[in-house]
Amino acid sequence: MRKSCFAAFATVVVTGGALVGTALPAQADAPTTLYVRQNLATGCSDQFPGTLAQPFCTISAAAAIVTGGQTVDIGGGVYMERVSVTSSGTPQQPIVFVGSSINASLGGASAGFVVDGQHDVVLQNIRVVGSGDVPAADVRNSSGITIRGGTYALHTPATSPVIRFAGVTGSSVSKTSVTGLTSTAGITVDAASSDVDIQGTTLQGYANYFLADDTVGVRIDGPGNSYVGGRIDGFTGAALALGPAAAGTVVANNVISGGGGHGVHNNGATGTAITNNTIRDRCRDGIRVDGASSGVSVQNNVLVTNGYFNQGYCEPAFLDGVEIGVYGGAVGKTVVDYNNAHHYYNDSPQIYAWNTRMGLAAFRAASGQAAHDRETGQARDDIDSANSAAPGYPTLDHAGSPRVDDLTVPNTGAGPVTYADRGTVETVRSPVVSFDVALNIQARSVSVNASASTPGLNPIASYRFSFGDDSVVTQSSPIASHTYANPGSYQVTVTVTGTDGRSDTRHTQISMLRPTGTVGLRALSNRRYVSYQTGFGLRPNQAEPSTIAQFDLADAGDGKVALFSRVVGRYVAISQFDHVTLTADSVLVDVREMFTLVRNGDGTISLQAPITTQFVTADPSGTLAMSASRPTIGTWEKFLQVVVPDANRSLKARVNGRFVSADGAGTKPLIASAATASSWERFDVVDLGNGQVGLLARVNNRFVSADGAGAKPLIANAPTASTWERFTMVRSSDGTVSFKAAVNNKYVSADGAGSKPLIAKGPVVSTWERFTIG
């Protein structure tokens, strides 16, 4: 037995040729921690006692003297060594090797740990990065060995497994990361090893057949072992392979994804529990049970798109993969139930195998199994539907969460907990935010409606609205409004929180632009007003600028304008799907929502979309959605811009209280002679820009003209608005308006106190030049 150099003992010293018996004084107990450090200011030496002040330089030096109950504390640095552990601890006082720094690692061609013939040894947070052909952790003929945390890696062309257990009992690997870019396996447990539990461990290997020969993530060949709560990605052979002697193995709560071979391959092992795993995107079978397997249980698993589906890493020769396959001697000796299997998005009919590939219905008929299996890829079908009496059933899910009952989903499971979920995730639904915003740029306000939000496992307790200008409202109701002090771009954020504290947050950007007026756009192609109706787009189909045909013009900056549909509280935009159709579905103004407003010489306007450089066109049928699709301006691309409050109005002369009439249906000069306002007495005030307007007679859709450059009476006979048809509308404090003709800067007068036709000859505004808009 090794004696500690720190223990008190008696010795005999030879002095000057004489034997002198000397009793040394009692020494302190052996230290509980031995330190290994590199590059310290005070230096290190393997001749030092291993204290923090005088640490060892190598891990092997500490391993040579460590005893039960001691910890070897490994500091930062790369240790180019292969450490052999030659001592044992006890269950109560194990030997512990711990990496106390994330930068502590073992490197080099032979890097790693060897534990041979020992017991009660812990390797904690150890990092081994090797490139040679020896295991990073080689455990042989030992018991009570614990590998906890850390990273172990080997790289091609290594043929050894990364972690090897040979003749090992009662040991474990937990929360460890294994990179197995080798030609064999990540972790192997041989036939002479038993009661080795691998928990919460992640393995990563090659997925691509063309980069490596068949490799295995975890290979178990001995009895009574387990792989639980882990994750395996890649590996060109099986992610997890069980040999014939691996009796009573538990494979549960694991996430297994893309790789060349099977997900789980049970080749002759008996009594295996394959339970609550999620397996997807393997090139071959998701779960395969074959050989002399018997007493195998395949339950509560979720399998999605396993088998060859043109994944780039799959070998094209293998086209026969299924989600769950039972073959050979395992037929009739395997229980399959409560699984969700979804083979392909078009529901391929061959997703199971009972020696022969077949669909779920045929599998049930042939095997008498899978009565509760579901052919589905919907996550909702995983909820509250597992068999909690299945062998290997985990009471906690992969993340360590307990089972919960979702009251919105029927409990269709079996066993003592009928609401456990299938697969690795116990779904605890959080609330989901869904909200709509309606803008009013005239009032500079937004209304946010989160009524479409859905509760999670528990009811929604509160709604929190953040409007992006430091204004926040938290309330129990789902609708809130807010008014902004200034135009600008703002982020509206909504958070819903359930009574259990779970929450969800979504946000959207809005533009609160400065409006410059509310208008109706009267298409020159058919003299109809443009309207917006959800599902039909913008169309010129309204006789009046009613609610659905009113738009706010807004300043979009850089000389551009935006059109804002008042009926839906949205900006007009170029469709993001076909890039030409107009729709009013945007609350944020970007390039899709911007237009260049072109004023034509005839008093009309046209709209050009910068994103397409095309002009907005209006089909005269009024049935087709408008689009920005014309390269030049023609009749269909022209619109009259009518100020909504001044559409379909009448003009009553103050001088005689009579309405101005486009006499003779517009064939005669205007005169203030009508006692009532009928169709001859109705006009649209058209915005011609630069503060000028035109008067469009409703009776004949002609502009009122100051005929003869203002020398003749006004008459509604002009098809377009040129100089003679332009007026400045002057509003007086008494509520009346007057019209100054642009052609001669004279005011329109109800001549002869209204007994004569209107004419632009008034030098100033007097009673004859005043009109009331009605």
Give domain status of residue 400, yes or no. yes
Give the residue from 563, 519, 538 showing the smallest Cα distance to 619.
538
Residue with tokens 């178990």, as numbered in its chain = 220
Spatial neighbors of 528 by CB under 8 A, at least 6 apart, are 522, 540, 541, 542, 543, 622
Q: What is the pLDDT of residues 150-160, one digit of tens each?
A: 999 987 667 88
pLDDT score, position 4: 33
Query: For residue 28, is pLDDT > 80?
Result: no
- pLDDT of residue 19 exceeding 50, the answer is no
Do 548 and 533 form a contact (C-beta atoms < 8 A)?
yes
Last residue of a domain, one of 512, 542, 564: 512
| Inside any domain, residue 196 | no
For residue 535, tell me if it sits in a domain.
yes
Percent of the chain past pLDDT 70, that is, above it, reads 94
- Arithmetic mean of pLDDT, 157-167: 90
pTM above 0.85, yes or no: no
Question: For residue 9, what pLDDT is reported?
Answer: 26
Same domain, 137 and 218: no
Same domain assignment for residues 527 and 561:
yes
Identify the residue whose tokens are 């197995």: 180
The last residue of a domain, from among 610, 643, 676 = 643
With a cut of 60, say whether residue 767 has pLDDT above it.
yes
User: Is residue 520 a contact partner of residue 514, using CB atoms and an 8 Å limit?
Assistant: no
Residue 145 lies in a domain: yes
Is the pLDDT score of 739 beyond 60? yes
Place of tokens 């930068």: 103
Tell me: do 343 and 244 sit in the same domain: yes
540 bridge partner residues: 530
Cα(131)–Cα(111) distance, integer angstroms: 8
pLDDT score at 318:
56
pLDDT at 401 over 50: yes
pLDDT over 90 for what percent of the chain?
80
Would you say residue 185 lies in a domain? no
Question: Which of 643, 668, 698 is the endpoint of a domain?
Answer: 643
**DSSP assignment letter at 7:** S
| 229 and 314 belong to one structural domain | yes
What residues make up the domain containing 586? Answer: 514-643
What's the pLDDT band for 16 if we cut at 50, 70, 90? Answer: very low
**Same domain (yes/no): 472, 548:** no
Q: What is the pLDDT of residue 20?
A: 34
Confidence of residue 17 (pLDDT cuts 50, 70, 90): very low
**pLDDT for res 210:** 55
Q: Is 392 found in the same domain as 319?
A: yes
The predicted model gives 531-554 an average pLDDT of 93
**pLDDT, tens digit, 9 for 90 and up, residues 620-651:** 999 999 999 999 999 999 999 998 888 899 99
Are residues 440 and 424 both part of a single domain? no
Q: What is the mean pLDDT of the chain?
A: 91
Residue 116 lies in a domain: yes
Q: Do 553 and 498 share a structural domain?
A: no
The answer to which of 153-162, 618-627, 677-686, 747-756 has the lowest mean pLDDT is 153-162
Q: State the CATH number of the domain containing residue 719.
A: 2.80.10.50
* 248 shares its domain with 330: yes
Q: What six digits make up the tokens of 514?
A: 């400065």
pLDDT value of residue 367: 97
- Domain co-membership, 52 together with 110: yes
Question: pLDDT (tens digit, 9 = 90+) per residue, 496-536?
Answer: 999 999 999 999 999 999 999 899 999 999 999 999 998 89
pLDDT digits (tens, 9 = 90+) for 262-296: 999 999 999 999 999 999 999 899 999 999 999 99
Q: Is residue 86 one of the residues assigned to a domain?
A: yes
Q: Is the pLDDT of residue 133 over 90?
A: no
Report in angstroms the alpha-carbon separations of 563 from 38, 301, 573, 587.
70, 54, 8, 11
Say which amino acid occupies 247.
A
Same domain for 282 and 405:
yes
pLDDT at 155: 74
Mean pLDDT of 368-379: 94
In the chain, the number of structural domains is: 5
**Is residue 65 within a helix (H) or strand (E), and if so which, with residue range?**
helix 59-65
Q: Is the pLDDT of residue 676 over 80?
A: yes
- CATH number of the domain enclosing 442: 2.60.40.10
Quick one: pLDDT band at residue 71, thresholds 50, 70, 90? very high
Question: Do both 586 and 638 map to the same domain?
Answer: yes
Report if residue 564 sits inside a domain: yes
